[in-house]
Chain A
Amino acid sequence: MTDLIEIKNVTFSYGARKIYDDVSLTVEKGKITAFLGPSGTGKTTMLRLIGGQLAPDEGQIFFDGINVHSLNRGDLYELRKRMSMLFQSGALFTDMNVFDNVAFPIREHSSLPPEIINAMVLMKLEAVGLRGARDLMPQELSGGMARRAALARAIALDPELIMYDEPFVGQDPITMDVLVRLIKKMNDTLGLTSVVVTHDVPEIMEIADYLYIFSGGKVIGSGTPFDLKRSSDPRIRQFINGEFDGPVPFNYPADTPYLEAL
């Protein structure tokens, strides 16, 4: 199997705060790869690094063998047509209805006649079960519907890679299940490669082919769901089982001891 994304020794900091320290990983083509980790470990940052919106301080990121951060603006934009990203908020354009939102990338990047765009958009909307909602404005959609509409927009140009940023956050159990199934279905039927950033362990364990667990700027564990469930590493066990007590700290690092600060 070949790797679609290869991350080599990436170090990245926001100001003085180190988000990634010498991280290396690969994402296999056609598989669902999940990045797990506690909130605030910069999992979303990794997606932005892959998309070329941020540049690493050190190290390289390859997409299909192309070094993302060596490209000029024009080539980077060309490369981005091959990937897409589903944002946490959905990020639908609030001044357009659902249909125009999904049609937006197609209209921007092609000069297809309106009938074909119409057919393409309806197909994408049908795939996420929202064909009937095509005339609604984004603010009329529920959270789950907005995310599905955003998913339809993300697959509008048939990308090779789709990156999901916390797709399950704030959803009710039914919607969550719908989204889990959709991600799986999209990946298998469209031949996509999926990267899912999440901290909802049970949901992602159902569908992911391979998982990386981040903590403290490093990958602390990786493997298939089966491997991880049987892992003996206490940090991995703590995260997978959702335990409060364990080696992964609950407190944000403080510069002075607690008693001294009082």
Chain B
Amino acid sequence: MINFISGIGRYGVRKINALGRATIMLFYSVVGKPQFDKNFPQLIQQLYVVGVQSISIIAISGLFIGMVLGLQGFNVLVRFMAEGALGQLVALSIIRELGPVVAALLFAGRAGSALTAEIGLKKATEQLTSMEMMAVDPLRRVIAPRFWAGVISLPILATIFTVVGIYGGKLVGVDWLGVDDGIFWSGMQSNVDFWDDLGMCFIKSVVFAVVVTWIALFNGYDLVPTSAGISKATTNTVVQSSLAVLGLDFILTALMF
């Protein structure tokens, strides 16, 4: 019994320790005099790797999720002769929830795991240590550009997801199942508020971006530099950031709506 309780205590202390180390890492990476001339090319490169290369998976997923939503929504609404509300249904569910959340989950799987593996491999092959010995701070030079790239990319990716998703819903609802075009769009227009819906969508995706990128980078930076350590850290990134996104989504939704 005592062992069990002390086990819980040890676990808690270890987690809080890790949170502390993660905060220190983030603090030293982002706080300080900016070096635009050196870090800007890095940032552009990372925006390409983290953001641009994730566009296809985000757009394709968005399209299918919008299409499924259009199909399911239509099947339910048509029973009540309310298929005119399809535009509103598709737009609100994607903007408020699916857009930011699913984009963040996909981002964690596609870009987060890659970031963890890359940083982890750099650590395992002593690239980070050698940078430190060259008097270059790897937090500023390696972690910071990747962090900002993630924070900038995910909100844009969530926006792309949302737009494509809504068109997917329109494709199925209007073009295939025959909902009236005007009713579809005007229903959407009158029920989606710029600040309350789109603004909240943006805030959510920025929060998710910070959390997912932070988790991915810390898992890479803090891992045990062996092949088993890298694979464990990559898995941890996906699991932890998915759970964090879903949990935070509930909290943010409860606070906002």
Residue ranges of A at the interface with B (Cβ–Cβ < 8 Å)? 51, 53, 77-78, 80-81, 83-85, 87-89, 91-94, 104-105, 107-109, 150, 157
Q: Are B127 and A78 in contact (CB under 8 A)?
A: no
8 Å CB interface, B39-56 against A: none
Q: Are A108 and B136 in contact (CB under 8 A)?
A: yes
Verify if B137 is at the interface (C-beta below 8 Å from A). Answer: yes
Known A80-B133, A85-B133: A94·B127 in contact at CB below 8 Å: yes
8 Å CB interface, B135-156 against A: 135-137, 141
Report the nearest A residue to B134, measured CB to CB.
A105
| B130 contacts across to A, CB distance below 8 A | 85, 87, 91, 150
Give the distance to chain A from B227, nearest Cβ to Cβ, in Å. 14
Q: Are B125 and A84 in contact (CB under 8 A)?
A: no
Q: Are A77 and B126 in contact (CB under 8 A)?
A: no
Please name the 9 residue pairs, one residue from A and one from B, whose CB atoms are nearest each other, closest first.
A91-B130, A91-B126, A80-B135, A77-B135, A85-B133, A87-B126, A105-B134, A81-B135, A108-B136
Count residues on chain B whose CB falls below 8 Å from chain A CBs: 16
| A94 contacts across to B, CB distance below 8 A | 121-122, 125, 127
Give the distance to chain A from B38, nearest Cβ to Cβ, in Å. 7
List 23 A-B pairs, Cβ < 8 Å. A53-B133, A77-B135, A77-B137, A80-B133, A80-B134, A80-B135, A81-B135, A83-B133, A85-B130, A87-B126, A88-B126, A89-B125, A91-B127, A91-B130, A93-B127, A93-B131, A94-B121, A105-B134, A105-B135, A108-B38, A108-B136, A150-B130, A157-B134
Verify if B129 is at the interface (C-beta below 8 Å from A). Answer: yes
Verify if B132 is at the interface (C-beta below 8 Å from A). Answer: yes
| B135 contacts across to A, CB distance below 8 A | 77-78, 80-81, 105, 108-109
Q: Are B129 and A53 in contact (CB under 8 A)?
A: yes
Taken together as a complex, chains A and B put the C-alpha atoms of A77 and B131 apart, in Å, by 11
| B129 contacts across to A, CB distance below 8 A | 53, 87, 91
